[in-house]
Structure 1
Amino acid sequence: MTREETKQEGQQVKARKDLVRENIEKIGELFPGCVTETAGQDGKIRKTVNMELLRNLLTEKGEDEEETYSFTWVGKRAAMAEAVRPARHRLAPRKELSLDWEKTGNFYIEGDNLEVLKLLQRDYRGKIKMIYIDPPYNTGHDFVYRDSFAMDSGRYRDLAGGEGETVPADGRYHSYWCSMMYSRLAAARHLLTEDGVLFMSIDDNELSNLLKIAGEIFGGSHFLACFPRITKKAGKTTEAIAKNHDYVLAFSKGDSPKFYLPPHTDAGFKYADEYVGERGKYKLNQTLDYNSLSYSPSLDYPIELDGEVFYPGNSCEKYLERKAGKHTRADWAWRWSRELFDFGLKNGFVVVKKYENYSRIYTKTYQNARIVKTDSGFAVEHISRTRAISTLEFVENRFSNDNGKKNLLKLFDTSVFDYSKPVALIKTLVQYSTSGDDLVLDFFSGSGTTAQAVMEQNLEDGGNRKFILVQIPEATAPRSDGARAGFQTICEIGRERIRRAGEKIREEHPLISGDLDLGFRVYRLEEGL
């Protein structure tokens, strides 16, 4: 083989490798859970495709044969197939149940959420900025989401490979739950924008399973956080351990989720000067001099200001000793170089505080401005000072179920829905992850808390967010407060809550509410295409 032929063959091999890498990247964008990393013979880590998992996602069959994937359950293959099976229903408008049909951009959809998620793909694929769901916690055997992959106990026992008491009594219900969540999350992922975020409330009954399911669908690297949330204050319990919290899980669709961080709240920003309009208030919490851990002669110089001469450590005698070489490794110096000090003084970042027997130089820390280094020197940069979102964000009592109940009591004479999440929780999630005219989806919408949270956040920051709520028309329990109040289904509670929440906003904010979208269009899932 000639040198030229060898070169051409090498180029062809490289081109094939590049093509394989590109194809793996494309598969990863569509099915992130199918791409994993393996070590080659040379020890290098490479991305590869789990072909078994990819084949399961692309097949239309739902056979429950022996499965080898590390995280599995009876019915998983059928759940995968169900997620990609075309919708078999349509959405029928119900104008008589709607509010401001002609004007509103909000939607309330009654029906099985899996079918609805499939139908939403046509118009909302890649357009939802935030999804919040509060799925059933699987604390008992009452399960209203009976998909086509559901099975009776005999079929479950056959597939699980056990007889009689060798199969856990609750295993079938865990399988139901996992299958139900898998197919819905797989369908929901495609609705998110590339910078979109999914939030899910869950307790410890299915926490580990939900983490694995979402990690497989969204990709493990797209797990963002597990926020504990207080559910109730410590109280009486017959158990040794009182469970007073659940969790909010957060996953992103892409590598760069967009968040709107909360402003930095610091009572120390209490002083104002001539720059307050552009820089905000400032605080004085640092002197210019400090006892440096690593002494630098270039940061040790006299400053003449307001007729006084200042030295690091407030002592001319000690300054002269340092300059004579009598300094320690850790000794007094300025925090700023001479050039930075001159710029800071000229631009209002320096202040002298006079005490009874001495004076000290302080530097200002502004809310919305700071000094930055440039190629030509220094400049004032305007910033929006924010704080990071803490994983302990939701341990305050205002995020508890007690406040969720109080939210309902402000709209109804009784608590018409059990365990409703507080508006403050979802409103905070909306605030942190959306803005402007972003879309928010909740496909386990329950009493409609998400709709109220979106409307209230729009009121607060002038946004024009829209919500899409989905709820299966589950009957209210016969002796529940909701049933006693005349509501036959959870959907009736949800619709009425949105109406009353909107009316409350209009009553309390008549001058502002006219610009808000407080209506909603109702659709019902019906058979046929």
Structure 2
Amino acid sequence: MAQDALNTDTDTIHEVSGVSPDFRTELAAQLAHLVPEAVADGTIDIDKLTELLGGDASGTAERFGLFWPGKKRAMRAAQLPTSATLRPEKGKSRNWDSATNAFIEGDNLEVLKVLQKHYHGHIKLIYIDPPYNTGHDFIYPDNFKDGIRNYLGWSQQTSSDGKKLSTNAESEGRYHSNWLNMLYPRLKLARNLLTPDGYIAISIDDSELSNLVTMCREIFGEDNVINTIPVKSSETSGVKMSHVDKRLPKIKEYVVLCTRDHTRASLNRVDVPKSGSADGTLDKYLKYYNKIIINPSAPAEEWVLTSVKDAMVEQGLPTTADAVRKFKVENAERVVYRTNNASLSDMAFDTPIARVTSPTGIEYIWWEGKQMLFLSDYLKESLCDLWTDISTINLNKETNGVKGFRNGQKPLKLLQRILALTTQPASNDIVLDFFAGSGSTGHAVMKQNSEDGGNRRFILVQLPEPLHEKNKEQKEGYKFCTELKLEPTISSLSRERVRRAAEEFDAGFRSYTLADTNFKKWQPQPGIDAETLSQTLIDLRGSSNDNADPEDLLVEILLKQGRSLVESIRDIDIDDLPYTIVGEQHAAAGEDRTCLLLYLNEHVKPSVEQLRAAVATAPAEFIILEDAFQGDDELKTNVVQICATHNVELRTV
């Protein structure tokens, strides 16, 4: 990034930062503000801070916790900033202009850092299904020194037959450590993104369950690890049972549920079918439920009741015992009967049915002196922390025809249940999955929205893990991708599933790819000679790379300015020059302006009059490429004054 070489007022011109937030620097600043006496010579004095904390500080004595080789390095990995950006892929998107969802292809550690500026404290639910560390799962080959460079060279990490070179064999001495080092920095960054009342749900099996729970207690806090939920994942039959040996067959996985702040978070009530509804006891109760509400959408006082059999005859249905049973269960939300309730018996109303709220806040339906009960209330019970009703059979039927997801695909029912527990339908909640895999989370969000009228949004992140024709487990996915002329990667399969689901539910998404910055950066090399160093410094006077695409520049600037992935963007001409407007151009009465106006054409130097016309449109901020001034310091000084006159914040890139 170019530095401001002018003697202008630095309070009125700012430079767009080229990297993600540096959490080490931010933490030090927060400590200096809270405990100024712990600052000495511009740095934090750890001994003084420990002295001030007294008994609240942990000493060097042995203490309980999770420790493993590489932990300190993993902690630093979460703190290091990145210069990476996201490159828009409009051709791989659906309904780009109106989309409220995003799909990102790239290493999730770098992507999580890129997302920090805008999405810090904005994500209501994170769901992830990370590698289970079974000895064959891919472990992300992190190079914490230069994450984006490592990612860009990552494609060489597979052999020609598709064998993953970065697996984590159980025979390795750091079998568990490698897995913990992979996940720890990602969870640290993920926590930053959660809203105060947000949740993270993590699928895992026995291999790393104990380590994961202990890690979550450290990162999220002991009280914020809410539940460890066993989820039945297969049946006790067939091949699984034929391999019974020294251990019992595994038929379950787990969902570890944590929150950002348990004092502010609250799970929604979710009802599920009662486990005893199909064991023969149901028929004993069904005989009491013989009335059905004909017009359930009307107010309770206007409900019309008739017998279940009369309603069936009216619809031309048979009234055999089995048919009546089936009809009652299928219409349980409006099949009712009356029962005694002492608190309601003395009440009287002008209508046969009335809605009543008791002094304790309980709502009843009064029905001619008695209480109305609904069959649906009997058939359902409140969700508990053992889930045995989610089938994993025939999950390939949920992918809308996308082939190649061999293992690890999660049922839509599981994900929709987690959504129902932790999000609100109409609150624009954002759901993030940074191990997107088969794309089930995005599919589940769209499906849940269609069922409850919600407006939840999603962000999916998936590494472009290559698929190979010679690999037996990857062959089907490779063939599917090549037939559709897609890159043969897991991310291509995931994005294609999301695209097909978006077509089904009339939704859209913006597709992005992790990329290196479009702006020049200082990358010193050992042993560099004076002549090369001099030329490098000259080259750095320009701000953007000469071959940078304007749309790529725009997205990077927006991300580093803390804007979302789905901002409203439109191009306009002002005084014969092209500009981009981001956000709403006109603020409502009493509201602050929020729109950005950007000029990103480094090849055409604007005149003072043209810049004055642009700033006169009254954006909140005006952003212009440093290269657009083409070395004209007088022009730059003039635009500073113009922006100050119109109360517009000026930024250069």
TM-score tier by shorter-chain length is 0.5 to 0.7
Residue in 2 that maps onto 1:390: 384
C-alpha spacing 1:67/1:449, structure 2 compared with 1 (3 Å): farther
CA separation in 2, counterparts of 1:47 and 1:380? 56
Residue in 2 that maps onto 1:318: none
1:429 to 402, 418, 421: 418
Residue in 1 that maps onto 2:315: none
C-alpha spacing 1:407/1:264, structure 2 compared with 1 (3 Å): closer
2:358 maps to 1:371: yes
Residue in 1 that maps onto 2:504: 504
Q: CA deviation at 1:197?
A: 0.8
CA separation in 2, counterparts of 1:137 and 1:373? 48
**Letter matched to residue 467 of structure 1:** F
> Contact 1:230 / 1:246 at 8 angstroms: preserved in 2?
yes
> Contact 2:105 / 2:462 at 8 angstroms: preserved in 1?
yes
Q: CA deviation at 1:503?
A: 2.7
Residue in 1 that maps onto 2:95: 100
Residue in 2 that maps onto 1:210: 212
CA separation in 2, counterparts of 1:140 and 1:264? 36
CA separation in 1, counterparts of 2:181 and 2:56? 23
CA separation in 2, counterparts of 1:415 and 1:274? 47
CA separation in 2, counterparts of 1:390 and 1:69? 30
C-alpha spacing 1:456/1:369, structure 2 compared with 1 (3 Å): farther
Residue in 2 that maps onto 1:38: none
Secondary structure of the residue aligned to 2:358 is strand
Within-5 A mapping of 1:298-309: none
CA separation in 2, counterparts of 1:445 and 1:264? 27
Residue in 1 that maps onto 2:13: none
Secondary structure of the residue aligned to 1:198 is strand
Residue in 2 that maps onto 1:72: 67
Within-5 A mapping of 1:244-323: 244-255=251-262, 256-262=264-270, 271=291, 277-279=298-300, 286-287=339-340
What do residues 351-373 of structure 1 show as CA deviations (whole Å, max 9, x unaligned)?
A: xxxxxxxxxxxxx9x9x754225
C-alpha spacing 1:454/1:271, structure 2 compared with 1 (3 Å): same
1:404 to 395, 404, 418: 395
Aligned length: 373
What do residues 313-372 of structure 1 show as CA deviations (whole Å, max 9, x unaligned)?
A: xxxxxxxxxxxxxxxxxxxxxx55xxx753x345889xxxxxxxxxxxxxx9x9x75422
**Letter matched to residue 239 of structure 1:** V
Q: CA deviation at 1:210?
A: 0.5
1:451 to 419, 439, 442: 442
CA separation in 2, counterparts of 1:390 and 1:103? 38
> Contact 2:106 / 2:513 at 8 angstroms: preserved in 1?
yes
Residue in 1 that maps onto 2:465: 474
RMSD over aligned Cα atoms: 3.7
Residue in 1 that maps onto 2:244: 239
Q: CA deviation at 1:417?
A: 4.0
C-alpha spacing 1:102/1:51, structure 2 compared with 1 (3 Å): farther
**Letter matched to residue 95 of structure 2:** D
What do residues 261-284 of structure 1 show as CA deviations (whole Å, max 9, x unaligned)?
A: 235879787756899744586855
Within-5 A mapping of 1:20-419: 49-50=56-57, 70-148=65-143, 169-235=171-237, 236-237=239-240, 238-240=243-245, 241-255=248-262, 256-262=264-270, 271=291, 277-279=298-300, 286-287=339-340, 336=343, 341-342=345-346, 344-346=347-349, 370-373=357-360, 388-392=382-386, 394-398=387-391, 400=392, 402-408=393-399, 410-412=400-402, 414-419=403-408
CA separation in 2, counterparts of 1:271 and 1:49? 64
Secondary structure of the residue aligned to 1:105 is coil
What do residues 476-514 of structure 1 show as CA deviations (whole Å, max 9, x unaligned)?
A: 253322113235111110111111222334xxxxxxx4x
Secondary structure of the residue aligned to 1:190 is helix
> Contact 1:261 / 1:387 at 8 angstroms: preserved in 2?
no
C-alpha spacing 1:441/1:197, structure 2 compared with 1 (3 Å): same
CA separation in 2, counterparts of 1:110 and 1:501? 18
CA separation in 2, counterparts of 1:459 and 1:450? 14
C-alpha spacing 1:345/1:433, structure 2 compared with 1 (3 Å): same
> Contact 1:129 / 1:438 at 8 angstroms: preserved in 2?
yes
CA separation in 1, counterparts of 2:171 and 2:90? 45
Secondary structure of the residue aligned to 1:72 is coil
C-alpha spacing 1:271/1:524, structure 2 compared with 1 (3 Å): same
CA separation in 2, counterparts of 1:448 and 1:406? 14
Residue in 1 that maps onto 2:508: 519
Q: CA deviation at 1:405?
A: 2.6
C-alpha spacing 1:47/1:468, structure 2 compared with 1 (3 Å): farther
**Letter matched to residue 265 of structure 2:** P
CA separation in 2, counterparts of 1:489 and 1:221? 40
Secondary structure of the residue aligned to 1:176 is helix
CA separation in 1, counterparts of 2:495 and 2:418? 22
CA separation in 1, counterparts of 2:54 and 2:271? 39
Secondary structure of the residue aligned to 2:493 is helix
CA separation in 1, counterparts of 2:437 and 2:490? 7
Runs of 5+ in structure 2 lacking a partner? Answer: 1-30, 36-52, 146-169, 275-285, 304-333, 367-373, 520-653
Secondary structure of the residue aligned to 1:102 is helix
> Contact 2:467 / 2:478 at 8 angstroms: preserved in 1?
yes
Secondary structure of the residue aligned to 1:501 is helix
**Letter matched to residue 259 of structure 2:** S
Secondary structure of the residue aligned to 1:108 is strand
**Letter matched to residue 136 of structure 1:** P
CA separation in 1, counterparts of 2:256 and 2:56? 26
2:409 maps to 1:420: yes
Secondary structure of the residue aligned to 1:372 is coil
Runs of 5+ in structure 1 lacking a partner? Answer: 1-19, 25-45, 54-65, 151-167, 289-334, 350-363, 506-512
TM-score, scaled relative to structure 1: 0.62
What do residues 80-138 of structure 1 show as CA deviations (whole Å, max 9, x unaligned)?
A: 11111112311111222222111101111111111111111101111111110000000
State the percentage of identical aligned residues. 35
C-alpha spacing 1:447/1:347, structure 2 compared with 1 (3 Å): same
